[in-house]
Amino acid sequence: MHVAFFLLLASSASRFAVRHGLEESAWPKFALCGLLALLYVAGTVLWDRLGHRGLLAWLVVVMIVWLSLVLIAPSFAWCAPPLYFAALRLLTRPAAVLGAVVVTAAVVFAQLRLTATFDLSLVLAPVAVSGMILVIFLEFDRLADALAATQRTAGILGERQRLSREIHDTLAQGLTSMGMLLQAADRSFGTDPAEARALVRRAADEAAANLDEARRFVRALAPSDLAAGSLPHALRSLADREGAALRVEGEEYPLTPEEQAALHRVAQGALANAREHAAAAHIVITLSYLDDEVALDVADDGCGFDPAAPRPGGAGRGYGLPGMRDRVAGVGGTLVVESEPGEGTVVAARLPRSRP
């Protein structure tokens, strides 16, 4: 648009020179044309530094100089389109409409000044074109506002989904574990106080770890196991706490923090499901670094279920497997659940290898 302004300004100056020559009375017009060019150059060079108020002041000065030039040399009305769009871009909607009216009036005035007889088309055509451009611009402006509102809403919903997944994968699972430990302690208190005290200590440790995880997900940080080392290290710590076996296959290669966090949360969720719902005696976590993908499999020998059957709802439910799928999909991977009633369950996540 800036280039178009200077081309139109040069064309207007050339047209004026052809019509009026280079006589002495023409030089004030050329001087005003030069001033307009310098002001426009200054605005384009300092555009980012002027700020909104500075740009508004620049636009007012440029418009005044241009209108003065059009009054004494109507040929310079050709510069109207870039100034028209600058006004629409910088002004509020009511002020933009006023600016459009002023620019259109100047163009109509110049057109009539350059003709010997009145021609209604010279009035109607600029008004129609100006109105059409104004309506299109205001409609795009409205659509941009609507899009911004939609993006804000999507951001809020996305953050709610993130918090829901984190609450399910950390707080809900931690509270479940603490509840099971305290129930076991209560059952052992009368017959084996030492075992009961050990279970209570484990519940306290689980509460401390849960509090740390809560602080980390509120600040959108990686799981605490990952903060202390690599993904295999984090999975080993998780497996040791849950009494599961871990196998790591292939040569480890770097993954992004988001990919590591997603796989860790999948393993965490699958272990919690096996412990809480499947009554599994043995759980094996397998992390495989393949040539073109990294694979995580969590297999248990629990009671299994039908993946196609509707899952029971209820408070606190609904974020397990869907949450795992969302996490993996968020980093470009896939998650598959293989299970049958009485045959155990395998949760398999696959992420394509991202090469540097």
The domain segmentation of the chain, as residue ranges, is 2-119, 230-356
User: Tokens 């990919």, residue?
Assistant: 259
Count of alpha carbons within 13 Å of 121, Cβ hemisphere only?
2
Higher pLDDT, 44 or 351: 351
125 Ramachandran zone, left/alpha/beta (phi>0; psi -120 to 50): alpha
Taking alpha carbons only, the member of 84, 121, 88, 123 closest to residue 103 is: 84
Q: Is the pLDDT of residue 235 over 80?
A: yes
pLDDT-derived band of residue 171, with 50, 70 and 90 as boundaries?
Answer: low
Query: Mean pLDDT lowest for which of 206-210, 290-294, 310-314?
Result: 310-314
Q: What is the pLDDT of residue 287?
A: 96
Q: 2.40.30.170, 3.90.550.10, 3.30.565.10, 3.20.10.10: which CATH number matches 230-356?
A: 3.30.565.10
Position 255 pLDDT exceeds 70: yes
Q: What average pLDDT score do residues 158-187 get? A: 72
Highest mean pLDDT among 3-12, 141-150, 214-223, 238-247: 238-247
Res. 79: pLDDT tops 90 = no
DSSP-derived secondary structure letter, 320 = S
Q: Poorest-confidence range of 87-101, 111-125, 302-316?
A: 302-316
Element (DSSP H or E) covering residue 119: none
CB atoms within 10 A of CB 25: 8
